[in-house]
A and B are shown apart, each in its own frame.
Chain A
Amino acid sequence: MGFFLETVFAGLMNGVLYALVALGFVLIFKASGVFNFAQGAMVLFAALAMARFAEWLPQWLGFQSVLLANVIAFMIAAALMLVFAWAVERLVLRHLVNQEGVTLLMATLGITFFIDGFGQTVFGSDIYSINLGLPKEPVFILESLFPGGLLINQDDLVTAVMAMAMVALLTLFFQKTGTGRALRAVADNHQAAQSVGIPLGRMWVIVWFIAGLTALVAGMIWGAKMGVQFALTFVALKALPVIILGGLTSVPGAIVAGLIIGVTEQLAEVYIGPLVGGGIQIWFAYVLAMVVLLFRPQGLFGEKIIDRV
């Protein structure tokens, strides 16, 4: 029982991060109809930027405080993501309006190559660390209830809270602010939004920037946990099954599906894995999503598609 709970907990901790990255995907897809494969590369790029600046700033400006360095580095990284968002809109999106989905998807893969190369050129391709001063050693709770107690990682808790805060902020932003409303309008209907004078271009910059922020936060968290390096790009692949499971256009879908996949893949690996030789985590989430789609082709929360003739 204790072990089961630990597994579920571990899954939830992953799930929160999946949800965060998936959110980035969904926002961009809703607002610009782009299926953004570059999300993973964005995670790496943002994390690299933060890690490196946090390392450089103290040398340049000659101060000690890690916290200060991290804060400024985060700001700079965020600024970079803004520039990136702007560049994407300027140089790519606006030239590809009303292209087919697959063309846009390929374009984002092109972007992926570019920023992979660019990031490594500017920031290097070694392993770098983001030091958030997270406590690494595990704590054991409820030892009275379970033999050996329940293993809880404080850093998991801290980072999960960060991620959830980010998610909450975004949701607020979308519900409460004018820009948020405008974005939702764009998502619902491009033409209509344009006709009431919402500047599509600027909206795209904003969503890509927001997606960039989610990438930065996710990258920061993962970077702090396992070091900032190229492999970060692969983690974001996990967001793909999440978004189709939740429904490409659904923010709550991304969050719920993130948690579902986080938990189920852990349980599957731990309980089913040993029966088939293990390592099934790499495909389980996808197969799960595929099976669900057989019954709900638009995902759990996506809008229903009706054929009209």
Chain B
Amino acid sequence: METLLKITELTKNFGGFTALSGVNLEVGAGERLGLIGPNGSGKTTLINCISGAFNQSQGSIELKGREITGLKAYQRTRLGISRSFQIPRPFSSMTVLENLLVPIAFVGGSDGPKEVEEAMAILQQMGLHLKAHLQSNKLSQVELRKMELARAMAAKPKLLISDEAMAGLAGAEVDEILQILFDLNATGITVIMIEHIMQAVMKFSQRVVCLDTGKIICQGTPSEIVKDPHVQRAYLGD
């Protein structure tokens, strides 16, 4: 599997507090990677550095061999790094369809009738096409999550970061989102999933990385991870 994303010696501190220290990680093209770790372990900081919301203190991030540290978030999105937000951030004054036309227009470069079709296709895939013309602040919780993923898809990503898209959803809704992520990955998109719902992460990921207090404490296949003493200590407490 050819490397899509390469992170070397990534460190990020806020004032005195070190959120990430010396993280090294490689993500293959088309891979399904799970990222787990207790609250405050640095997961969100890591993806904020990858997506460009934060600038790391040290270390480098390469996308397909090209260093992207200096680029702003919107430039990284155009290069193919897309993310959904843990707490959905819809463009509330716009309809669901218009929400998707923003990334399509600004990444694709135009938003004519062809693009509207493209957006409708993505909504169809998410099961939201019936609500395309509904004001986005009228959506339910799970629909908002789906729109976040749809909006990330509309930016034609090579790497999709799903940040706790299933937190707080009912069992059936979790499976729905899980199936969507599987389908997206099937089209060749690399997916990094951050979740606390262990069954989902273990079912979805080919490889799981466990973070704790800003460092990667272990990585491996789901079955290896479950048995790993570090993970148990991080999750169950020593």
A, B from the same assembly: no
Residues of A that sit less than 8 Å from B by CB: none
Residues of B that sit less than 8 Å from A by CB: none
